[in-house]
């Protein structure tokens, strides 16, 4: 199945969530429960499963992946400080646009897409990208939303949030890769079973989130539409033109493409809600880019891979 077909499968999962939410079969509480299961069980299991089921070593070791992750986030920071100026974003919204530029949905969408394209073994690469992602979003992300002050709910920055299940799973996956642990069969099967839930459940949650947004309002904000096109098409294509010359391994190159091409991360909306940011803008940014990414990710893949 090609990339367009794989995205169609993920879109079908998303529409199930959208339909169930619109018909009130699944409510906000159900969304929180499913998100909890994905973030704390399914997604970590998927990362670890990809490591213990790996056949052989990563070509060139893990250093190229670490270097690629550093280059990706460094480049996205540069784009994030330039793009709001080019789009003439009001000063009060520039911090939100910077966050939407830097932090893509590599957890809920990136992992399922990488798994669909390259299998579980490629997820070790993705896990390495997730480590700086989590460190940055729980430090710089919160700082940008609060100005180093407390949010509306009285919650200031908490260093302990840098150590979370996603980071722990990534570090454990790297450790198991180094130790070459030969896991018992029941451990492999349990982790594989849990990990297989990541794609459908995460996309169902995204669909439920879309159901709470007015789709008509998404396509009337010209600035947000232009931002979405730049983030989902221009930046990934230009980034891959450069990365294609520097990354030799085909799988890592594909993972890098997915990390660039995924839509705005749902964590930006969650943090905005918790720390008094612009929840309307972040919510619409997540919804619009998620819808468009079903088409733009295959386009970027066709142009760059």
**Cα 215 from chain centroid (whole Å):** 22
Which residue do the tokens 């897409």 mark? 113
Q: What is the pTM of this model?
A: 0.86
Which residue do the tokens 């099967």 mark? 189
Angle at 115 between CA 187 and CA 291, to 5 degrees: 135
Residue 36 has a pLDDT of 85
Beta-ladder partners of 104: 264
**Which range marks the domain in which residue 203 is found?**
3-304
161-214 confidence digits (pLDDT tens): 656 787 788 888 888 888 888 889 999 999 999 988 988 998 898 888 889 888
> How does residue 83 score in pLDDT terms, banded at 50, 70 and 90?
very high
Give the residue from 7, 114, 69, 39 showing the smallest Cα distance to 239.
69
The tokens describing 197, both together, are 């839930």
Alpha-carbon distances of 18 from 8, 76, 94, 206, 304, rounded to whole Å: 15, 30, 30, 8, 31
pLDDT at 155 exceeding the cut of 70: no
Domain count, the chain: 1
CATH assignment of the domain containing 154: 1.20.1530.20
Residue 59 has a pLDDT of 61
* Rounded Cα distance, 180 and 64, in Å: 19
Higher pLDDT, 58 or 295: 295
pLDDT at 154 exceeding the cut of 60: no
pLDDT at 70 exceeding the cut of 80: yes
Which residue do the tokens 């530029």 mark? 101
* Rounded Cα distance, 283 and 268, in Å: 8
Alpha-carbon distances of 130 from 143, 146, 153, 274, rounded to whole Å: 19, 23, 27, 21
């Amino acid at each position: 199945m090609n990339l367009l077909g794989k995205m169609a499968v993920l879109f079908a999962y998303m529409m199930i969530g959208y339909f169930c939410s619109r018909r009130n079969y699944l409510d906000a509480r159900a969304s929180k429960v499913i998100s909890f299961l994905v973030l704390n069980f399914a997604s970590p299991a998927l990362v670890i499963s990809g490591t213990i089921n790996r056949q052989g070593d990563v070509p060139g070791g893990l250093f190229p992946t670490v270097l690629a992750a550093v280059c990706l986030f460094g480049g996205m920071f540069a784009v994030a400080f330039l793009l709001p100026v080019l789009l003439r974003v009001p000063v009060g919204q520039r911090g939100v646009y910077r966050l939407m530029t830097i932090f893509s949905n590599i957890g809920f969408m990136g992992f399922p897409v990488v798994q669909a394209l390259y299998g579980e073994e490629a997820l070790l690469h993705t896990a390495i990208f997730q480590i700086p992602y989590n460190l940055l979003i729980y430090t710089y992300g919160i700082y940008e939303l609060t100005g180093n002050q407390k949010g509306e709910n009285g919650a200031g920055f908490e260093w302990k949030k840098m150590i979370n299940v996603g980071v722990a799973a990534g570090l454990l996956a790297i450790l198991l890769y180094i130790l070459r642990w030969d896991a018992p069969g029941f451990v492999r099967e349990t982790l594989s079973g849990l990990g297989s839930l990541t794609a459908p459940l995460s996309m169902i949650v995204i669909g439920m989130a879309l159901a709470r947004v007015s789709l008509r309002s998404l396509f009337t904000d010209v600035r947000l539409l232009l931002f979405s096109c730049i983030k989902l098409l221009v930046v990934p294509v230009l980034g891959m033109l450069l990365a294609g010359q520097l990354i030799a391994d085909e799988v890592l190159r594909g993972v890098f493409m997915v990390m660039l091409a995924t839509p705005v991360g749902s964590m930006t909306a969650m943090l905005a809600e918790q720390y008094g940011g612009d929840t309307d803008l972040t919510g619409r940014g997540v919804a619009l880019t998620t819808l468009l990414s079903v088409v733009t990710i295959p386009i970027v893949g066709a142009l760059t891979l």
